[in-house]
Structure 1
Amino acid sequence: MKAARRDRQAGNLPEVLLLQQLRKRPGGFKFRYQFPCHPYRLDFACLSVRLAIEIDGEVHARGDQPLRDERRDLFLADHGFATLRIPARDVLRDMDSVVAAIVGACRERGPLHQPLAGPPPRSGEE
C-alpha cells in the first residue's frame, strides 16, 4: 500500500502524462492508477471491464523481463483481467492514439454487467 502511494507520487513521465488523460474518463471509463492486485501492482486498471494497462519501458525487452511479464499476464488472466501492454515511447509520441487504443480495448471487453432495464416485474406480471 505504501509502495503504491510512493509510486503514485513519483510516477515516471509516460505514466504521469497518461494519467492526466485517463483522469478525464475517456469513453466514460474510470481508470485506477497503481492499482494493487496482489502480488502485483497494475500501472492502470479499468475495473468495470477488468482491463490492466501496463506501460512498458525498454527494460521490458531485456533479460528475463519478457518471461516475467508473461507470467504476470497469465496470473492476471486467471483473475479475470486482460492485459494491454503499451510501449512508453508510444505514450510520449502519440498520446491520442494510445488513449484511443485503451478506450477501444475497454469497449471490446464490454461491460461485465448489463445495466438494469428497470425494476423487476411485479408478482403475476411478465
Structure 2
Amino acid sequence: MRVQNARALRANGTDAEQTLWRHLRSRQLDGHKFRRQHLIGPYIADFACIEARLVVELDGGQHAQAGAVEHDERRTQFLQDQGWHVLRFWNHEVLMELAGVLQAIAQVLNHPHPNPFPPAGEGVEQPTLSCMGRD
C-alpha cells in the first residue's frame, strides 16, 4: 500500500516538487543521485540522497496547521534517529528562491557532518560527550 502511495505522490507532485525535481534528477546537483518519494521506515520522503543520507522535505501551508507541526517533528526525529540529515523548505521558498534552496542542499551535500551516523543497524552505540565523565 505504501508503494502505491509513493507512486501516486510522484504522479501528482506539487508545482514546488516538480520544480525542485527538475534540478535534482539525473545527478544534476553536484553529481548526487536523488530519489523522489522514497520509502524510509513508515514514512515517504519527498526527496532522498541515499549516499549522503540526506532527506529534503517540501512543506505546503497544511504543515503549519495544528497537529501537523508535531507530526513533522516526530517524522524528522525518526529520520534523524535512522542517520538521515533532514532539510525542510516551504513550497514558496522553492518557487520564489530556488537558487537559495539548491545552494542550501549543495552545502549539506558538499560539507557532510564530520562524524556521520553509521548506516541504520550498524555500529555500536557510543556515549555522547555530554554524558561522559559527569556525575
**TM-score in terms of structure 2 length:** 0.78
CA RMSD of aligned residues (A): 1.5
Task: Give me the whole-angstrom Cα distance separating, in 1, the residues matched to 2:67 and 2:8.
Answer: 26
Following TM superposition, the consecutive aligned residue runs of length 4 or more in structure 1 with deviations greater than 3 angstroms are none
State the match for 1:18 in structure 2: 20
Kindly indicate whether residue 62 of structure 2 is the aligned counterpart of residue 46 of structure 1. no
State the number of aligned residues.
112
- Give 1:7's aligned residue: 9
Aligned mates of 2:12, 2:67 — CA distance in 1: 25
Larger mean Cα displacement after TM superposition, 103-112 or 58-67: 103-112
Mark the runs of 5 or more structure 2 residues left unpaired by the alignment. Answer: 117-135
% of aligned pairs identical? 38
CA separation in 2, counterparts of 1:18 and 1:95?
Answer: 8
| Counterpart residue type for residue 107 of structure 2 | G
Comparing both chains, which one has the higher relative contact order based on Cα–Cα distances under 8 Å and sequence gaps of 6 or more?
1
Q: Distance in 2 between matches of 1:45 and 1:39?
A: 15
Q: Which runs of 5+ in 1 are unaligned?
A: 113-126
* Residue number in structure 1 paired with 2:121: none
Choose from 17, 22, 33 the match for 1:30.
33
Quote the offset at 1:69 in angstroms.
0.6
Listed as ranges, the matches of 1:68-107 within 5 Å are 68-107=71-110
Relative to the length of structure 1, the TM-score reads: 0.83
Inter-partner Cα distance in structure 1 for 2:70 and 2:24: 28
Q: Is contact 1:56–1:86 with CA below 8 Å preserved after alignment? A: yes
The residue number in structure 2 matching 1:118 is none
Structure showing greater Rg = 1
Supply the distance in 2 between the matched residues of 1:33 and 1:110 (Cα, whole angstroms): 23
In structure 1, the partner of 2:129 is none
Aligned AA for 1:30? K
